[in-house]
Amino acid sequence: MNLHDALQEKITGAVTEYTGGLGIPDFSVEVPENTEHGDYAANAALMLSKLLGRPPMEIANDLAQKLADERWEVSAAPPGFLNFIFTDKMLVSALEEILTAGEAWGASNVGAGKSVIVEYFQLNIAKRPHIGHLRSAVIGDALKRIFQSQGYTAISDTHVGDWGTQFGILLWAFKTLVKEEDRHIYEEYPFENLEKLYEIANLRILQTPELREYGKEEFAKLERGDRENRKIWEWMVDVSMKKLKESAERLGLLPFDEHKGESSYEKDMSLIVEDALKKDAATRKEDGAVVVDLTKEKLDEAVLIKSDGASTYVLRDLATIQYRKKEWKFWKNIYVVDVRQSHHFKQLFRVAELLGYEGVGDSEHVEFGFMSLPSGAMSTRKGTVIALDALLDEAERRAYDVIREKNPELKDAADVAKQVGLGAIKYFDLSRNRKSDVIFEWEKALSFEGNTGPYLQYTYARLKSILRKAGNVFFQPIASVQLSSIEHKLISLVLRYPTTIENALLDRSPHILAAYLYELASVVNEFYHARPVLQEKNEQMRALRIILVTVTANTLRNGLDLLGIATPEEM
């Protein structure tokens, strides 16, 4: 059903025959900006012109004859493009096949037998999730869903941040700034108090920098197994993991396969350091630090062990790569982490390469832009964040108010408001190129008009309303019909769905799928305003349009599900 690939294959065969084995240039098959030019356009003749030294229009006309097919009309257009327009017969036939596919439309088994690790939603212990964590959560979840839809075994891991100097700072603050008789307050309301404590601790360190050494010492004691520090740390981890799972569920994320915190690799780290020193990849400095010198590669020194004996992110992530390759035998190992960590991952992958780790070439950093507020960057240390719970509460409240205003008789309005509010928040993020920075603004995030999640959800609900009114329809094979331009455009667009999934996965970019779904919603809205569905008197045409509404609704539902966005039947 992937007509793009069918065209690509047909053109490749024609070009091979035409050149007599001289080679196949790297040509493209794309959707033209002007739909009047066709459903697809190829630049094969233009690329061949360079190879053969002949006019591109001459080549295009020759190829057009070789590419004749009952599925499409093909023509040459200046300066040498090949334009393809699908026939009505082919489009109607494809429509019926999509209808049969139902929920499986767009799915494939291309990834069967391949395992992909997707790491995302990496929360830090003792901190509530906030909107700064949203991007990793929704992008990672969408990628896992898309991978699974194409037959891959997708394994998700939060790789919780539960180790490092920041916990030493928190331990120091908890032991020195919190009175024994006040500790029960922290047990009753852990996150609010621990976040405030962390903020106070960092303010004191800002005023008196040498206090940071106390935090570093407390973490070093934790790594050495100090009983008191272990007990406090384990309590922080326990309450934090409960909150993480609660937040993931509220965000509608797929269940995680692993929650392996950085501390999980504690016992493996000393062996890695020994191996790095033995292979002369790392050196021990006079102050006791162990580093891998990457300065000649402009990657600075990658520190494995700090001068105080504490481990680093690089060392813990090296252990993670080893574990994942051994445990999951991954095909790809993907880290969905913001762009500020790009340097870290360049160091990590290079050190892993120097150590000869299996799978490092299949590890990749899927970076995303930084999310900030109109007032500037968010920081837990400075207390300038919006808690995730507060964000979702506000989204649900606003969605509920709009739904009640537009449809006061709607049943289950509260449940629908949750789906719409969450859909608005997710789509606000996923509709943007992941590499772009995002400024979070309430009004834009929760808008119900234009290129938004609620607009797509409402379009789906509108289509389902049409189908409910149509009643139980027994779909029969459609005889030859003549499609209008808007019907042709909509069916052709629906058929691009599998290619869109393929492109989104290839680029690790859910926004490609989001942009497609918005275009689909826009075109189907244009269609049902221009062409009657239930009022159509011609039975064959009425049946065709009901099928078209059905498959478009299915495509919207399937696509939004890949983005982790629910599709209410009524709004």
- The strand order across the sheet containing 283-284 reads 283-284, 290-293, 301-305
The dihedral region occupied by 376, where left means phi > 0, alpha psi between -120 and 50, and beta the remainder, is: left
- If asked whether residues 37 and 135 sit together in one domain, one would say no
CATH number, position 65 = 3.30.1360.70
Chain-centroid distance, C-alpha 76: 38
CATH number, position 521 = 1.10.730.10
Q: Rounded CA gap, 99 and 87, in Å?
A: 19
- If asked whether residues 421 and 506 sit together in one domain, one would say yes
- If asked whether residues 393 and 368 sit together in one domain, one would say no
What is the total residue count of the chain? 571
- The strand order across the sheet containing 72-77 reads 29-30, 40-42, 81-86, 72-77
- If asked whether residues 218 and 325 sit together in one domain, one would say yes
The dihedral region occupied by 568, where left means phi > 0, alpha psi between -120 and 50, and beta the remainder, is: beta
Residue 13 belongs to some domain of the structure: yes
CATH number, position 268 = 3.40.50.620
The dihedral region occupied by 323, where left means phi > 0, alpha psi between -120 and 50, and beta the remainder, is: alpha
Residue 551 belongs to some domain of the structure: yes
Per DSSP, the three-state class of 18 is: helix
Burial class of residue 110 in the structure, from the number of CB atoms within 10 Å of its CB (0-12 exposed, 13-18 middle, 19+ buried): exposed
Residue 104 belongs to some domain of the structure: no
Segments forming the whole domain that contains residue 237: 115-372
Last residue of a domain, one of 43, 70, 86: 86
- If asked whether residues 136 and 163 sit together in one domain, one would say yes
Structural domains in the chain (count): 3
- If asked whether residues 296 and 198 sit together in one domain, one would say yes
- If asked whether residues 522 and 412 sit together in one domain, one would say yes
Which residue is it, tokens 């023509």?
75
Q: pLDDT 10s per residue in the chain (571 long)?
A: 588 888 999 999 999 999 887 778 889 999 998 888 899 999 999 999 988 999 999 999 999 999 999 999 999 999 999 999 999 999 998 988 899 898 999 999 999 999 999 999 998 888 778 888 899 999 999 999 999 999 999 999 999 989 888 889 999 999 999 998 999 898 888 888 888 898 899 999 999 999 999 999 999 899 889 999 999 999 988 988 888 899 999 999 999 999 998 999 989 999 999 999 999 999 999 999 999 999 999 999 999 999 988 889 999 999 999 999 999 999 999 999 999 999 999 999 999 999 999 989 999 999 999 887 787 665 555 555 678 888 899 999 999 999 999 899 999 999 999 999 999 999 999 999 999 998 888 778 777 788 999 999 999 999 999 999 998 776 666 777 889 999 999 999 999 999 999 999 999 999 999 999 999 999 999 999 999 999 998 888 998 999 999 999 999 999 999 999 999 999 8
Residue 41 belongs to some domain of the structure: yes
Q: Rounded CA gap, 138 and 531, in Å?
A: 36
Q: How many helices (H) and strands (E) does the chain have?
A: 21, 13
Residue 482 belongs to some domain of the structure: yes
Q: Rounded CA gap, 384 and 131, in Å?
A: 11
Q: Rounded CA gap, 155 and 144, in Å?
A: 8
Q: What is the pTM (predicted TM-score) of this model?
A: 0.91
- If asked whether residues 364 and 396 sit together in one domain, one would say no
Per DSSP, the three-state class of 482 is: coil
- If asked whether residues 266 and 333 sit together in one domain, one would say yes
Question: Would you give the end-to-end CA distance of the chain in angstroms?
Answer: 32
Give yes or no for a contact between 482 and 88, defined as CB atoms under 8 angstroms apart: yes
